[in-house]
Amino acid sequence: MFTVEQIKQAHSKVKSGADFPSYIQEIKALGVTGYEAFVADGHINYFGADNYQISAEPKYNELMIGESANREQFQADLKAHQQGKTDYPTFCNDCAKSGIEKWVIVMNDMTCTYYDKAGTEILVETIPH
């Protein structure tokens, strides 16, 4: 099974959202079947086969998540991040301001789904591969 250290090594190559698809391919090859990333503090729960699960510790001081989602602002911020215009900490701050609580990656479907605090799907994207 994979380790948090292996995932951190793969993530160290990511400089912007433009690098995300190759990161996903790399951790998928390690055996990651999905993960959920929490905007508030950056902790991530990773999932593998046979109910395997590990968690990465919080990455930064807690952010306040907006009470309601601003879909339009979030989509603009996401597009900028995917084009390499913002780094990961900036993107997380932008998500918090736009009311995004977490995103969930499903490797089999190659999707990334963003949720607000109420658990409402705000956006579902297909991850390029």
More confident residue, 51 or 88: 51
Cα–Cα distance for residue pair 43/61, rounded to 1 Å = 11
Tokens standing for 50?
């046979």
Q: What is the pLDDT of residue 91?
A: 94
Is the sign of the CA dihedral 3, 57, 74, 12 positive or negative? negative
Tokens 């380790």 belong to residue: 3
pLDDT, one tens digit per residue, over 57-66 is: 999 999 999 9
Q: What is the pLDDT of residue 24?
A: 93
Residue 42 and residue 110 in contact, taking contact as beta carbons nearer than 8 Å: no
Number of domains in the chain: 1
CATH number at residue 11: 3.30.1810.10
Q: What is the pLDDT of residue 77?
A: 97
Tokens standing for 123?
């956006």
Strand order in the sheet with 53-56: 53-56, 44-47, 34-38, 100-106, 111-116, 121-126
64 CB burial (10 A radius; 0-12, 13-18, 19+): exposed
Q: What is the pLDDT of residue 19?
A: 84
What is the extent of the structural domain holding 86? 4-126
pLDDT, one tens digit per residue, over 44-59 is: 999 999 999 999 999 9
